[in-house]
Amino acid sequence: MVRLDQFIAASTPLSRKDAKRAIGAGRVRVNGVPCKLANTKLRADVTVTLDGQACAVPGERYLMLNKPAGVVSATRDSEHPIALDLLPAELAVGLHIAGRLDADTTGLLLLTTDGQWSHRITSPRVECPKTYLVSLSDDLSESAIQLLEEGVALRNDPQPTRPARVRVRQPRLIELTISEGRYHQVKRMLAAVGNHVDALHRLRIGAIRLDPGLEPGQFRMLTPEEVDSVGQVSVRSARSAGP
């Protein structure tokens, strides 16, 4: 059995918080009867509507999650909490992660049941841009910015990185857009230019931005427009448009 607010969040683009608001406002009916209790437990045979439209968990599922620190981007781990633990059990079935994050990195995590869709995010051939908010130990010099935007050599890696895009927000806070997914890449790139990453938070994958209404640990379904955007944005257009 699943809670009503969890079901609404899983079957619509609404976040968990917005689902609770919709339920409290009387917009949700269960078997035709208005229900204003978000914690109502649903049986498998009930019909749920939002504003008169039937709700159902889609066959292919596409979600965004605001990953908190300390959560592992894995489908199973015997020692640490995993991202799927933050979802209702019935929604998590069959999901995999499209673009993992380190345990101490926070922010946008995409999960789906659609293997071809996630391949368009993770395949090196696609060059899907990913934007991170990076807190640094030291100010980033102009020469370091130039190196990052030209491509830098990483330790124990024969190939330099692809050109990145740097946007300085504050002296020790930058947005970094890259189009690869090498091991600890952002941390290694900043180390290569003589700096150190204190905190890392992913803001965007392709054209999909982390919903600012999602608190750490919260999730929502992607909108059809967000789903369709995958594969349409190249790193070159991301550089010209900005993060």
The answer to whether the CB of 180 falls within 8 A of the CB of 121 is no
| Candidate list 102, 104, 138, 157, residue with the active-site label | 102
Token code pair at residue 200: 């890392």
Known active-site residue 102: yes
- H-run or E-run covering 29: strand 28-30
Tokens of 95: 């999901």
Within the chain, residue ranges assigned H as helices are 4-11, 16-24, 89-92, 115-122, 142-150, 185-192, 224-229, 235-241
Distance between CA atoms of 127 and 159, rounded to whole angstroms?
16
Decide if 235 contacts 241 (C-beta within 8 A).
no
Question: Distance between CA 195 and CA 137 in Å, rounded?
Answer: 7
Residues annotated as catalytic (active site), given as ranges: 102
